A and B are shown apart, each in its own frame.
Chain A
């Protein structure tokens, strides 16, 4: 590809993923691959009860087994704080229970950790957990979120006197007007069931406490945030903690968290003076790694006879489980932010009720609240079309936000910066021949084969931003939503990029190398991308919410741009040209109009690191940092799929 004026040769190209050769030949380094001298293995004693009082824990038989170093319970852990929850919504009352990494007094879901066995042999510690005798006095259980709100329901947390966690709403205050203006109002109860992310690599962590310094290797999407949390719970200065996310085998949001096992491993490593490693089993993963969705949505949509939508109200009942993980109660709020979908709806409101049940917490999983909204809106649009008797395509077109309206503020109070929903749908219809699919459907029907044809549109908040809206005085998440990058050109001209995101298989090593290579005119194969280590890169927010490339990638681009600017000034100085006349093309910095006069990046960086002839006042070296805080990332797309079924034969023709 030729340059686009900015020297873009690699962005947009299909490249083989740089990170794959070690990963697919067994040379990756995952947390469970690591072993440290004197390391102990941890195995957790977990509750088989959904809700029970712990009347006694007898650890002596387990502790006496060969190879067992210690058996710890809650009171043995020297932790100043329990598990963090990062949402403090201004003006909203929320019942927040204490959540300790090992149960204190009661268990409230199956799989809750009650104790931990530590020993030199990873088999022996699992055997020993069977010798830890925990007596439980079972308490009444509630697992149905609707039943949990009924009078007389068993209470998950007695002290609140209710299972209701909080109520939160967003959007129009005058929904009555929407129903008055409507010719027809349809109501549906839509269940979005509980799901699990289930990445290939389960969770694992390895903690080492040595000479006052703590290092935690963990399967996490958020190493920097985890370090901040540990500083609080371990009562340590943040500079003495290092958190590393080595190769991580997928997450789907489930590793966007700080988990009890990480805190226990750190506390146990400090108490015992030995490194502690824990690796999750798949069974543990299904019970004690965050779940997602679990909403019951009561939805009301008002329409004119011609299909114009007058209003949409979503009453969300969100099953949050027994405790809060990092973002548990805020996840359904994201449903509210995208409740208007791609549509211009004069009145939209979402009201959320959170509820405790005796299940593991829900949290961010594959879209975290937003796919739930897309599901609701698109189902309602289809239902309305069927009820009114107009084509699903037509009702969408009638209600899409027109291209010329952007930037468009929707009724939930969010401004969409840009979009062309008619255009994306038209493009979909160009690519997918619905008439042909429907003709085939009729033919297949005669042979007893039923085909369903469906498609969907969506509007997403990819990247979660900006900080001032999502942060403490906006939505109330106690954090910022920027991302960091350092682009360091070495004296030889090769490049190291440090990103504050923490990829876990998405291919960011390759895409960030592409981004970083273009601006200084080098090639991705000499750009190394370093991530996931609090001791090497700048503080960063991690990888989640479709943000790593949108926010982290832009941060890399901006740092690379600064490098390019500095390099141009050096080249201009050395070749006696004006900086604005320096171009990046064909892997060289050249002077416009004199293509034979140029310097390679290696020559530029050589000059930068041996500063004999730099412009006046310029610092040596060739390295730049960016912390980028975005405005409104957004995206939209459409897709179609169809399914043929009789007793079982499937095909997806498009």
Chain B
């Protein structure tokens, strides 16, 4: 598998990287872990003229949980797992295999915008924020505004994700359920659920759906059905029944649209049950 010819730079600072990306124009691509981009290049489905490698840019990796959770864009999935930062770490532990987790990064995964990847729906459900820097400075993009379409985000071509911020999880519990045929595969469907429990009842619920559309989605109907309800089997099952409301998942080689909707309901119930403890 041999990619088309390309140029390569590995700048030492974020500003240099931004400049290199801008100078490279639309044929330039950022290289983080490379576990989505490089396979596409080797299949010659992508042929960027310039790769701007972020590996030498300092201060882009690391996880800080101090009130809110801040995850550097170049944090590998393995490092995120080790940081033990709740839902994101649990989801990251299910990504592909150890080799991929050792190289793949959260920033790369979000920027790639693949709705079958684990972390986009997690960041969406957690109501996280993507911090990006470009020639015009830094901006924060709410996850709900970030994913535009299949493999498309609202990140500008000359912007670089520097950090992902997620609200603190105190008072919240969570569950993550994913279904695939082999453990290393992308999710056929995955569901992440965050619930805040007060006096045995669900004060708030945030449910993210992976691979149920061209972007990660929230299961808003199920969330609404659960709010204010006691977190017990009946209410969970009833809410989970609505997990696929409003979705139109694309059928693929592994699953029909109907089967994906079925999976969303089953996995939602299991994720909520896990969150309810």
Enumerate chain A interface residues (CB-CB to B < 8 A): 122-123, 126-127, 281-283, 646-648
Is the CB–CB distance between A647 and B266 below 8 Å? yes
> Which chain B positions have C-beta within 8 A of A122?
2
Can you give 18 contacting A-B residue pairs, CB < 8 Å?
A122-B2, A123-B2, A123-B5, A126-B2, A127-B4, A127-B5, A281-B1, A281-B2, A282-B1, A283-B1, A283-B43, A647-B179, A647-B262, A647-B266, A647-B267, A648-B179, A648-B263, A648-B266
Instruction: Tell me how far the C-beta of A93 lies from the nearest C-beta in chain B, rounded to whole angstroms.
Output: 40
Most chain A Cβ neighbours within 10 Å, of B1, B2, B43, B262: B2
User: A580 to B179, alpha carbons, bound, how many Å?
Assistant: 67
* Residue from A282, A646, A648 with most neighbouring chain B CB atoms (10 Å): A648
Q: Which residues on the B side are within 8 Å of A127 (C-beta)? A: 4-5
A126 to B41, CA, bound (A): 13
Chain A nearest CB from B87 CB (Å) reads 20
A282 to B267, CA, bound (A): 34
Least CB distance, A315 to chain B, in whole angstroms: 30
Write out the residue numbers on chain A whose beta carbons fall within 8 Å of the beta carbon of B263: 647-648
Q: What is the size, in residues, of chain B's interface with A at 8 Å between Cβ atoms?
A: 10
What residues of chain B have their CB less than 8 Å away from a CB belonging to chain A? 1-2, 4-5, 43, 179, 262-263, 266-267
| Complex CA–CA separation, A122 to B3 (angstroms) | 11
Question: A122 vs B5: C-alpha distance in the bound complex, in angstroms?
Answer: 12
Expressed in whole angstroms, the minimum distance between the Cβ of A254 and any Cβ of chain B is 19
Complex contacts, B1 vs chain A, CB 8 Å: 281-283
In whole angstroms, how far apart are the Cα atoms of A646 and B1 in the complex?
38
Closest chain B CB from A385 CB (angstroms)? 30
Name which residue of chain A comes closest to B4, CB basis.
A127
Which residue from chain A places its CB closest to the CB of B262 in the assembled complex?
A647
Cα(A645)–Cα(B267), bound, Å: 14
Closest chain B CB from A548 CB (angstroms): 29
The list of the 7 closest CB pairs from A to B, nearest first, reads A647-B266, A126-B2, A648-B179, A281-B1, A647-B263, A123-B2, A127-B5
How far is the CB of B66 from the nearest CB of chain A, in Å? Answer: 37
User: Quick one: closest A residue to B3, CB to CB?
Assistant: A123
Question: At the interface, is chain A mostly helix, strand, loop or mixed?
Answer: helix
How many angstroms from the CA of A127 to the CA of B43 in the assembled complex?
A: 12
| Chain B contacts for A283, CB-based, 8 A | 1, 43
Bound-complex Cα distance A211 to B115 (A): 59
* A123 neighbours in B (Cβ, 8 Å): 2, 5
Bound-state CA distance A648–B266 (Å) is: 10
Q: Which residues of B have CB within 8 Å of A647? A: 179, 262-263, 266-267
B202 to chain A, nearest CB (A): 23
- Interfacial chain A residues near B266, Cβ < 8 Å: 646-648
Q: A126–B3 Cα gap in the complex (Å)?
A: 9
Complex Cα spacing A74 to B107, Å: 49
- A contact residues around B2 at 8 Å (CB): 122-123, 126, 281
A127 to B3, CA, bound (A): 8
A372 → chain B closest CB, angstroms: 24
Distance in Å: Cβ of A198 to nearest Cβ of chain B: 14
| CB-nearest residue of chain A to B178 | A648
What residues on A are CB-neighbors of B179 within 8 Å? 647-648
Q: How far is the CA of A283 from the CA of B1 in the complex (A)?
A: 8
A41 → B minimal CB distance (Å): 10
Give min CB distance, A185 to chain B, whole Å: 36
Nearest-neighbour CB distance to chain A for B230, whole angstroms, equals 23
CB of B37, distance to nearest CB on chain A (Å): 17
User: Across the interface, which residues of A come within 8 angstroms of B267, CB to CB?
Assistant: 647
Find chain B residues with CB under 8 A from A282 CB.
1
Residues of B within 8 A of A646 (CB): 266
Assembly CA distance A647 to B266 (angstroms): 7
Residue on A nearest B264 in the bound complex, by CB: A647
A304 to chain B, nearest CB (A): 42
Name the residue of chain B whose CB is nearest to the CB of A648. B179
User: Could you tell me the distance between the alpha carbons of A648 and B263 in the complex, rounded to whole angstroms?
Assistant: 9
Cβ distance B119 to chain A, nearest Cβ, rounded Å? 21
Complex interface: chain A residues within 8 A of B262 (CB): 647
**Nearest CB in chain A: distance from B178 CB, A:** 9
Q: Give 18 A-B pairs besides A123-B2, A647-B263 with Cβ atoms closer than 8 angstroms.
A: A122-B2, A123-B5, A126-B2, A127-B4, A127-B5, A281-B1, A281-B2, A282-B1, A283-B1, A283-B43, A646-B266, A647-B179, A647-B262, A647-B266, A647-B267, A648-B179, A648-B263, A648-B266
CA distance A261 to B5 in the complex (A): 25
Q: Nearest residue in B to A646 (C-beta to C-beta)?
A: B266
- Cα-based distance from A123 to B262 in the complex (angstroms): 46
- In the bound complex, residues from chain B placing their C-beta under 8 Å from that of A281 are 1-2
Closest B residue to A125 using CB positions: B2
Q: How far is the CB of A407 from chain B (nearest CB, A)?
A: 44
Alpha-carbon distance A266/B1, docked complex (angstroms)? 23
Q: How far is B266's CA from A283's CA once the two chains are assembled, in angstroms?
A: 35
Chain A residues whose CB sits within 8 angstroms of the CB of B5 once the complex forms? 123, 127
Q: Closest CB-CB distance, B30 to chain A, in whole Å?
A: 22
In the assembled complex, the CB of A283 is this many whole angstroms from the nearest CB of chain B, namely 7
User: A37 to B262, alpha carbons, bound, how many Å?
Assistant: 60
Bound Cα distance from A648 to B191, whole angstroms: 14
